[in-house]
Amino acid sequence: MCGIVGHVRPLAPVISSAATPEVEGRTLCVLLDGLGRLEYRGYDSAGVALVGPSGLQVAKAAGKLENLRAAIAAEPPAPATAGIGHTRWATHGGPTTENAHPHRAGSIAVVHNGIIENFRALRAEVEEAGRALLSDTDTEIAAHILDMDFTARLAEATAADPSADPAQVLVESMRAVTERLEGAFALLAVTSLAPEAIVAARRSSPLVIGLGDGENFLGSDVAAFVAFTSRAAEVGDDQILLLRPDSVTVWDKDGCIVEPKGWEVSWDASAAVKGGYETFMDKEIHDQPAAVADTLLGRVDERGEIQLDEMRIDPAVLRSVDKIIVVACGTAAYAGHVAKYAIEHWCRVPVEIELAHEFRYRDAVVSEKTLTVAISQSGETMDTIQAVRHAREQGSKVLAIVNAYGSTIAREADAVLYTHAGPEVAVASTKAFLAQITACYLLGLYLAQLRGNKWPEEVADYLAKLGEMPDKVQWILDEQQSVVRALGAELADRSSFLFLGRHVGFPVALEGALKLKELAYVHAEGFAAGELKHGPIALVEEGLPVFVIVPTPRRPILHDKVLSNVQEIRARGARTIVVAEEGDDAVDAFAEHIIRIPAAPTLMAPLLTVVPLQIFAAALAGAKGLDIDQPRNLAKSVTVE
């Protein structure tokens, strides 16, 4: 996550705009407006770098954008011709002013969205060159590497031709440096030596161009510049860009100039904060492929081994663990419930799932050999905080799986494994759930690797399968969304729903029911499919909508049992809505509606099967005219017990 914005205009501008009448300060205005619209992507700190006749100026501040605005108001920068801005969601290094972007090195300033995976090796190079690092970020290292290359290349170029263009040299440096970077990045750089230029590069992190008249823009998404232009153009992976006031040049990875594909943005600035989606929940559902991919980023080293940098618990302690207790609430607890199946299977360690508020008040068996895993999106849920404290008092080490950097749970735990889902604004959790499962799986595979339960090739195989999940989630969003939305609208008048699942499908059923309860205010219950006959089947009556999560047919022992359950409820009049793999024709005869997911191994399936349930709940609530982002009686972070 993180939001980036860039703007370039001529040295002697003749630009007038109702939005920013003060021509002199237009670049700063554009950057601050863009950062305001991108603040949903991160709000730990913000900063801008400006270049112009007065050289390079950088202003940054920890906390929300208003702190940066105040800092700028106190010390207004001189007018600029190009500028880059950043609003941060901390990954490497805490949310401090030092760690805020832009990062400066020599004549250069850089902003970055993404994670540079090989930053440790690059850091050694920067330190060897005798350069002082002021922050803990991977980005500052990239800034120095870029400046070192640029300084050397520019000296060579001007020796050969004193009129060599520094902007063009910076393009060459950007190409050379990004070839050495591993991971994901959208990088923007300005230099005081070329004050009418921005040079940028992108790999697996979002970046779009905004095309103006006599000025040009860059942004993490079009929200960054939609107040100033509605003409946008795509940036492909591994492309390098040079933006000048009157031109945009794009090179592909072979160094050939390519024509960027343009489009007209169809929504206006008022929708920009939601990235063009109607609700934050809709946006966050669509963020899910990135949430999974970003949570996986930077966690595997060059030998293919999982490295959890934040794992500050002694490996000897982790080897001696004889039980794991997951403490969490709501959706986070269901993520832990999914993970139980995987961690027990991979590590042969028993995993208990405890609702955090129950754990504390019963006499749970906890010892120094227990690893407590606290899962929380906000890191501020009071029930989970208290459970963390209780576990530590009992001598257990606590590992937190948290989304919000520097939150209370992250600070109080012995170690933190961050999910990189970015800020989740809608009250109902969606992308955090997928990121939590992903992080739990990384933990499970890490423990299996450490304790020797799995061969390196087996760990690598699971990681490869996890790596395929973002594309599979995207397939559901692309191919199944309209069917699921239509079903949500069609069933908007129903007052009761059941959700059934077996094995990892069981916590997914619980999560599907929770989403519907909290968003649409209808009765919804999730059951283990095998439990139905032991009582709940009495609820089934003519026309009752029942969602059934069907396991992959490649696990017949699970698949066939669930199919029997579908037949049992169908025979009693239920309206069966089946979530099943593509190509699983066995469900056709028993399903009134079929929602397809791409084929995936059993343990990976929850990352897919939950997505249609989220879309369904939001669509049904939308059809009822309810407030999807802020359902009644709920708060995003439950900070009381």
Given the rule CB under 6 A, which residues bind ligand F6R? 329-332, 376-378, 381, 384, 428-429, 514, 518, 637-638
Q: Which is nearer to ligand F6R, 111 or 514 (CB)?
A: 514
HEC profile of 313-355: CCHHHHHHCCEEEEEECHHHHHHHHHHHHHHHHHHCCCEEEEE
**Amino acid identity at 365:** V
Q: Give the nearest residue (CB) to ligand F6R.
A: 330
Cα–Cα separations (whole angstroms), residue 434 to 297, 303, 404? 14, 26, 15
Which ranges of 58-137 would DSSP assign to H, the alpha helix? 65-74, 119-128
Task: Using the minimum distance from each CB to ligand F6R, give the nearer residue, 154 or 329.
Answer: 329
**Closest among 305, 577, 354, 242 to 452, alpha carbons compared:** 305
Residue for token pair 């100026």 = 57
Tokens of 582: 């593509």
Relative to beta strand 216-219, strand 3-8 is: antiparallel
| Minimum CB distance to ligand F6R, residue 388 (Å) | 11
- State the minimum distance, in angstroms, from the CB of residue 522 to ligand F6R: 15
283 is known as an active-site residue: no
Q: Nearer Cβ to ligand F6R, position 319 or 411?
A: 411
Structure-block tokens of residue 274: 């939601």
Shortest gap between Cβ of 335 and ligand F6R (angstroms)? 8
The verdict on whether 2 is a catalytic residue reads yes
Smallest distance, ligand F6R to C-beta of residue 356, A:
8
CA–CA separation, 112 and 90 (whole Å): 11
C-beta of 487: minimal distance to ligand F6R in Å?
20
Residue with token string 């009129």: 163
In the complex, the smallest distance separating the C-beta of residue 173 from ligand F6R, rounded to whole angstroms, is: 42
Residue 155 parent element (H or E): helix 138-160
Active-site position among 323, 465, 561, 636: 636
Instruction: Tell me which residue of 591, 529, 450, 375 sits closest to 537, measured CA to CA.
Output: 529
CB of 101 to ligand F6R, least distance (A): 26
Provide the strand spans (E) within 117-261: 183-191, 198-203, 208-211, 216-219, 231-234, 239-244, 247-251, 257-258
Terminal Cα-to-Cα distance of the chain (whole angstroms): 30
Residue 377 or 552: the one with the smaller Cβ distance to ligand F6R is 377
Nearest Cα to Cα of residue 218 among 8, 60, 2: 8
Choose between 242 and 417: whose C-beta lies nearer to ligand F6R: 417
Whichever of 356 and 569 has its CB closer to ligand F6R, that residue is 356
Least distance from C-beta 440 to ligand F6R, angstroms?
13
Q: Which of 2, 29, 347, 440 is catalytic?
A: 2
Q: What is the DSSP string of 424-488?
A: --SSS-SHHHHHHHHHHHHHHHHHHHHHTSS-HHHHHHHHHHHHHHHHHHHHHHHHTHHHHHHHH
- Residue 102 or 512: which CB sits closer to ligand F6R? 512
Please give the single-letter amino acid code of residue 204.
S
Among residues 204 and 637, whose Cβ is nearest to ligand F6R? 637
- Residues assigned a catalytic role: 2, 636
